Amino acid sequence: MAFRKQIFLWCGISIAFAILLNGIDVFTQWFAVSRNGSEEVLWMLMCLLIPFLFVLAVVPFSFVLLIFRKTRRPALIALLSAITFLVAAIGIFRVDIGGRVRMHGFHKLAERSVPLVQAIKKFETEKGHPPNSLKELVPEYLLSIPDTGMGAYPMYEYIVGEEARKHDNNPWVLYVFTPSGGLNWDMFMYFPNQNYPERGYGGSLERIGDWAYVHE
């Protein structure tokens, strides 16, 4: 009976640890898209791979120790705990709560960006061409160039002319670099022609309002 209790205890700890790792992912994604966030905190997500690699190493090692009578019980506990962790972690991370929190932040950014987009379009209508830079919008169309409201990704980028036409022949493009941790080149883009492809710019595109998020 004591052995069974040990198994249940360690399997319970494994499930709790999987939930904790997911909680770290959710917090990190929320913090990144908050006003006080930072891009550096996203590198924490790389650390989440370490427990998975460790557990994957435990599984074959436990099978080897099961051969020997003296190590059979602890090996069985380790094996069942590792399998429990992997099943729980994969199930929890497939729900992708952190990703949903992150995308909710970009839905809000699309809404906050409406005045900037409208200012560019109004300039284009009245002047007959889009502004050469966002600075030309100030002070006639905007009191100041807004930031994104995201600590990790504070700045809008703007391109016009030939460079913009490379983006599906748009006259101008507004975008935000949004790396999501590690070696990653995600982007959040606005095309005035609204002609976003399903794939391109290094990944697949997800429509978010009038914007598109590039998952690299």
**Count of domains forming the chain:** 2
Among the listed residues 199, 198, 151, 192, the one whose alpha carbon sits nearest the alpha carbon of residue 175: 192
Predicted TM-score (pTM) of this structure: 0.84
Verify cis geometry, omega within 30 degrees of 0, for the bond prior to 146.
no
Q: Are residues 84 and 119 in the same domain?
A: no
With respect to residue 104, please indicate whether it lies within any of the assigned structural domains. no
User: How far apart, in whole angstroms, are the C-alpha atoms of residue 191 and residue 172?
Assistant: 7
* pLDDT score for 5: 87
Q: What is the pLDDT of residue 88?
A: 92
User: Looking at the structure, do residues 91 and 122 belong to the same domain, yes or no?
Assistant: no
pLDDT at residue 44 tops 80? no
**118 shares its domain with 54:** no
pLDDT tens string 155-214: 999 999 999 999 999 999 999 999 887 667 899 999 999 999 999 998 999 999 999 999
Same structural domain, 119 and 86 = no
Same domain, 119 and 173: yes
Residue 1 has pLDDT above 70, yes or no: no
Q: What is the mean pLDDT of residues 122-138?
A: 95
pLDDT value for 40: 78
Burial code (b: 16+ CB inside 10 Å, e: under 16) for 176-214 equals bebbbbeeeebbbbbbbeeebeeeebeeebeebeebbbb
Instruction: Please identify which residue in the block is written with the tokens 């005045």.
Output: 115
- Output the pLDDT for position 208: 96
d(CA 34, CA 102): 10
- Which residue range is the domain that position 45 belongs to? 2-98
Domain shared by 166 and 89, yes or no: no
The residue assigned the tokens 């002070």 is 139
In a domain, 106, yes or no: no
| SS3 at position 70 | coil
Euclidean distance between CA atoms 49 and 173, whole angstroms: 35
193 and 141 belong to one structural domain: yes
CA distances 214 to 161, 162, 209, Å, are 22, 21, 14
Residue 108 lies in a domain: no
CB atoms within 10 A of CB 113: 21
